Amino acid sequence: MKTSHLIAILLVIFLGGAALYVATDMMLPGPKEDRGSGQPSVGGPFSLTNHLGQRVTEKSFAGKYMLVYFGYTFCPDVCPTELQLISEALDLLGKDADQVTPIFITVDPKRDNAEVMRDYVKVFNDRLVGLTGTEAEIKAAAKAYKVYYNPSKDGDAENYLMDHSSITFLMDRQGRYAAHFSYGSKPEVMAARIRKFLKAEKD
Ligand code: NI
């Protein structure tokens, strides 16, 4: 699902040179601009079970960036496509990928138990963490990330599709929203954006 991006105009006046800097594309500004007041409040605490059956919270992933994507393993095309793109972005990051934990949170906990998640995530990337939980835990996590999901009307109790938002969130080392990527974003774009954040930490 494509999300249309609002055009943001950010004016940055540098005291020294009194230089005026105008950025008009929300997808382009660097890390510091993202911390502005227009920052969406996305993310927050969660308590879930990883694909190894261990209980985890957002604190389990603190200290690294997180790439968070909600979907489900029975998804015929959207989820596999996005997870593949995330995986390629990580490959492009090379050693910098150590600073990022890619996380796939199921919106279909009824079918996606830890075992199903374990078999699924390894298809895409060794680094990929699959998270599941109770219906209530998943609902709370999705709410925190403002992710929509709903079983589609077609199908029966075992074979059904899920409608769901398809956005990849980049969260910083403290678990705060840093950026997001709409469905189908190029791996090069994701990798470059992450690199920008990593570089900003060194400046
Ligand atoms: Ni999907």
Residue 154 pLDDT > 90, yes or no? no
C-alpha 150 to ligand 1 mean position (Å): 11
Domain 47-202 is in which class? alpha beta
Integer angstrom CA distances of residue 195 from 17, 89, 95: 27, 11, 11
So where are the chain's domains? 3-37, 47-202
Residue 39 — very low, low, confident or very high, per pLDDT cuts 50/70/90?
low
C-alpha 149 to ligand 1 mean position (Å): 10
Residue 130 pLDDT > 80, yes or no? yes
C-alpha 105 to ligand 1 mean position (Å): 11
C-alpha 23 to ligand 1 mean position (Å): 33
Residue 71's DSSP bridge partners are 106
Burial letters 125-134, b for 16+ CB under 10 A, else e: bebbbbbbbe
C-alpha 57 to ligand 1 mean position (Å): 23
Residue 14 — very low, low, confident or very high, per pLDDT cuts 50/70/90?
very low
Q: What is the pLDDT of residues 69-123, one digit of tens each?
A: 999 999 999 999 999 999 999 999 999 999 999 999 999 999 999 999 999 999 9
What helix, strand, coil percent values describe the chain, rounded to 5? 35, 30, 40
C-alpha 142 to ligand 1 mean position (Å): 14
